[in-house]
Chains A and B, each alone.
Chain A
Amino acid sequence: MIRLRRLWALVRKEMVQIVRDPSSIVIALVLPVVLLLLFGYGVSLDARHVAVAVVVPEPTQRTASLVTAFANSPYFEVEELRDRRPAEDGLVSGRYRGVVVVADDFDAQASRGLDAPIQVLLDGTDANTARLVKGYAEGVWAKWLGYEARDRGAALAVPVNAETRVWFNEALESRNFLVPGLIAINMTLVGTILTALVVAREWERGTMEAMIATPVGRLELLAGKVIPYFVLGMGGMALSVAIALILFQVPMRGSFWVLTVVSALFLVGALNLGLLISTVAKNQFVAGQIAIVAAFLPAFMLSGFVFEPSSMPLWIEALSHIVAARYFVTCLQTIFMAGDVWSVILPNAGALLLIALVLALVTLKRTRKSLE
């Protein structure tokens, strides 16, 4: 049974602790902001000013125009070389992310109206950047061929790879796609890690033992944790959304009430996962480790925040279906970028509700008013 005065006493106690102990504020409000700024500004899926060497063994006017085309691209920092050897060395040492080699008979072939071949060498250790460089290089080359053909008043029979354009579009929008995902990560932090840690802290400091010895019921004990951290989590959510909309200019095409409902569903599930972890882990270190492995990493890796689950091996993709963050990320990306698309939001919100209910029931069952 819940007695309101006892519950209120617990909630008030927790609130006072949140205000006085800077570590929960750091996790709930500062860390999300830092992550958002870091990912919003620092990490993007496009590349700019990538160091590239262009090897031109025999410079002519035509090759010079090609090099200029590369140099004018915002994506490349170009260094023109005569010899292939130092370019390759530079690729090995990491000085260049890519090397564009212009063929010896480039000019001759081009003027004969044949192919004007270039070779692109890529540093495959960073596959993502390599793909980008390849795309951009192809783009620059195709564009240059187009100009060249127009100058000569002839159509050039080079297939222009339309796919390269995708990279460009993507680069423009990667932030819009990352920021909603990040919000899900932030909510996981506040929900799971913070609750797991604060309950473990009560075990460590012996206050949980004193609590259990009072007439407080387990429902009150759980609700006394869920309510304050729900408020804190929604606060963190509001802060993240504000940063996303104001600072990063992410579009908001859906409605705020849908966003609020979906976030609340996810947060309740995350809070219960944290409480469940704390029934097993009774010190902060272990609780933190379990929360990172059970909640943070799956939210990061399997939610579709950065890595698309459908491109994962089948069994890992199957695993991602029990990660609540996956449904939340889908909802958020839809609400921000597409709008209230009910055919997407309803099933995903349903999954979130189901996960929250299951976790709440298991947590209630696992919580005992006893030290064992």
Chain B
Amino acid sequence: MDALVRLDDVRKSFGATRAVDGVCASVPVGRVTGLVGADGAGKTTLLRLMAGLLAPDGGTVSASDALGYMPQRFGLYEDLTVAENLSLYADLRGLAPAEQGDTFARLLSFSGLAGFETRLAGKLSGGMKQKLGLACALVATPRLLLLDEPSVGVDPVSRRELWRMVHELADQGVAVVWSTAYLDEAERCHSVLLLDQGRLIYDGPPKDLTQRMRGRSFAVRGIMDRRVVQAAARRHVGVADALIQGAAVRLVLAEGAAVPAAAELGAPQAVVEPVAPRFEDAFIALLDRHGGPVPALPEIVHHPRPRGGAVVEARDLVRRFGDFTAVDHVGFDVAPGEIFGLLGPNGAGKSTTFRMLCGLMEPSSGVARVAGIDLASAAPEAKQRLGYMSQKFSLYPDLSVRQNLDFFAGVYGLSGARRKAVCGAMLDVFALGPMADTNAGQLPLGFKQRLALAAAILHGPDILFLDEPTSGVDPLVRREFWGHINTLAGDGVAVLVTTHFLDEAEYCDRIGIVYRGRLIAVGSPEEIKASARNPEQPDPTLEDAFIALVEACDREERS
């Protein structure tokens, strides 16, 4: 088959980090090739090598000159209109002026941007920006299209459209490289290059990798307490991975292991039935970085809390910025021991809602109460009971891991032997011991997130606010995270979490879907999914349900 990119033993290092470590691969025409891996796996570096933006330290890269490249932030000029961006890239890529009119018309209708020609790129939504970025990359009809994480920050509806567009291009003979950290996207590619720590660990159709897992994926259904079953499954020797999925627990068995009996999983009445394997199952099995059992959280963090009524209350919350309503009459409760997820595209109002609840921002109207106290009126004792992990890394980059923990313990009033004990325990639990004296700013992303979670919970809060806690960490660290979060929820901690990973929303007891500032649905993942069930979609995924809800909301808006 004709290859538009050939990589032969390509190496690239930045300082001591081997970003790309001996990759051999090729990209065929007429296919969508997924460049899949966790953050920091080397995807962007490899793409930039293909685009000629970086020179390899070793090996050879040969790629077609007729390439279109869309960087992570789309490369759009926000002060320029849609049409001006297109014509800039057309001129730069040498598209003859006579052809521009037809090409623009075709690209605009292809990307659904017709009618928006005079809008500034900066005023487009995330999904529209991305389509414009794609259109700009396509302007000189490239034979090779390189897309760097095109689906980040884009709502599921736009994401679906983008996949349709990309497959259409592949059918026309374009070689598309799509880099992504979302493992569910890998399954939509014809072929996958799977990267881990700069090395290529799999090259081939995603199905072939998934098929290796046949007979190893199971679902445990009909259970009372999902977290008890998950915890039991995790302890079971034959189980490589156990994940909550709505009301069920999904198991991936270790190679050659027998199917565990329901009783062994602490749920004698449950049914263990085989399910189709997913790409993620194979990915986890392939990475095989399972360490020993994770040490338990220290007693100050891990202890039972009183149960009872709601501890987080949002009542009719409204927040306006000028004449823009970011949060529009949002209301929900979170009870002790409950994990409540706020789900929605970027800019929907999740973070604003979150900030009002944490007392970081005053609502325009409505009430935000935590532990019965209105946080806007600043009550330090309420904040003492609250743990907060922000989306951005908010620790001190120039302090070491140990100093950061020590500082946050001090801030929350822990002193002497207690402080020492807690910090020591956190280093153990989060496997930060070996890098205790490294400056926090120097840590790899996954470890930064671990440290951030450790700092947010070390004072044993009763209420935990997590803003996109797992963005940018690999699936293994995400599992570890959720293990801790589940433990805390089991202790009676109320957890409010925002996420844009739809599969993560499945771990929540209840989710609220935020769209254009409004809470358009609240319920358990099963209830949300059920709401989208129809003859066409007998078994909708959470993403299907999400899209159905958002589309219904848009229809309502229009009429």
Closest to A10 in B: B92
Closest to A371 in B: B53
Closest to A18 in B: B79
A207 interface residue, CB < 8 Å from B? Answer: yes
Give the number of chain B interface residues (Cβ < 8 Å).
29
Bound-state CA distance A174–B53 (Å) is 54
Shortest beta-carbon distance, B68 to chain A, in Å? 8
User: A129-137, A164-172, A209-217, A299-307: which lies at the B interface?
Assistant: A209-217
B49-75, CB under 8 A of A: which get 1 and which 0? Answer: 001111100000000000101111111
A6, A20, A207, A211: the one contacting B91 at CB < 8 Å is: A6
Query: Which residues of chain B come closer than 8 Å to A6, judged between CB atoms?
Result: 91-92, 94
- Taking a contact as CB atoms under 8 Å apart, the answer to whether B53 and A17 are in contact is no
Among A10, A16, A205, A214, chain B packs the most CB atoms within 10 A around the CB of A214
Closest to B67 in A: A213
Known: A212-B53, A213-B53. A206 touches B80 (CB 8 A): no
- Taking a contact as CB atoms under 8 Å apart, the answer to whether B54 and A211 are in contact is no
Query: Which residues of chain A come closer than 8 Å to B80, judged between CB atoms?
Result: 13, 16-17, 20
B78 interface residue, CB < 8 Å from A? Answer: yes
- Taking a contact as CB atoms under 8 Å apart, the answer to whether B92 and A370 are in contact is no
B421 interface residue, CB < 8 Å from A? Answer: no
Closest to B51 in A: A213
Closest to B52 in A: A213
- Taking a contact as CB atoms under 8 Å apart, the answer to whether B92 and A214 are in contact is yes
A1-38, CB under 8 A of B: which get 1 and which 0? Answer: 00101101110110011001100000000000000000
B93 interface residue, CB < 8 Å from A? Answer: yes
B77 interface residue, CB < 8 Å from A? Answer: yes
Shortest beta-carbon distance, B12 to chain A, in Å? 10
- Taking a contact as CB atoms under 8 Å apart, the answer to whether B94 and A370 are in contact is no
A372 interface residue, CB < 8 Å from B? Answer: yes
B370-409, CB under 8 A of A: which get 1 and which 0? Answer: 0000000000000000000000000000000000000000
Query: Which residues of chain B come closer than 8 Å to A370, judged between CB atoms?
Result: 53-55
B428 interface residue, CB < 8 Å from A? Answer: no
B84 interface residue, CB < 8 Å from A? Answer: yes
B172-194, CB under 8 A of A: which get 1 and which 0? Answer: 00000000000000000000000
- Taking a contact as CB atoms under 8 Å apart, the answer to whether B94 and A215 are in contact is yes
Closest to A17 in B: B79
B89 interface residue, CB < 8 Å from A? Answer: yes
- Taking a contact as CB atoms under 8 Å apart, the answer to whether A207 and B54 are in contact is no
Query: Which residues of chain A come closer than 8 Å to B93, judged between CB atoms?
Result: 214-215
Known: A13-B84, A16-B79, A16-B80. A205 touches B94 (CB 8 A): no
Closest to A220 in B: B92
Bound-state CA distance A143–B80 (Å) is 68
B88 interface residue, CB < 8 Å from A? Answer: yes
- Taking a contact as CB atoms under 8 Å apart, the answer to whether B69 and A213 are in contact is yes
- Taking a contact as CB atoms under 8 Å apart, the answer to whether B75 and A209 are in contact is yes
Known: A212-B53, A371-B54. A20 touches B79 (CB 8 A): yes
Bound-state CA distance A17–B77 (Å) is 8
Bound-state CA distance A210–B69 (Å) is 7
27 intermolecular pairs with C-beta atoms under 8 Å apart: A6-B91, A6-B94, A8-B91, A9-B88, A9-B91, A13-B88, A16-B80, A16-B84, A17-B77, A17-B79, A20-B120, A205-B77, A206-B74, A207-B75, A207-B76, A207-B77, A209-B71, A210-B75, A211-B92, A213-B69, A214-B89, A370-B54, A370-B55, A371-B48, A371-B53, A371-B54, A372-B54
Binding site for A on B (CB under 8 A): 48, 51-55, 67, 69-80, 84, 87-89, 91-94, 120, 136
Q: What would 20 more interface pairs be, CB under 8 Å, given A20-B120, A210-B70, A371-B48?
A: A5-B91, A10-B92, A13-B77, A16-B79, A17-B80, A205-B73, A206-B73, A206-B74, A206-B75, A207-B77, A209-B71, A210-B76, A212-B53, A213-B53, A213-B71, A214-B92, A215-B92, A215-B93, A216-B92, A371-B54
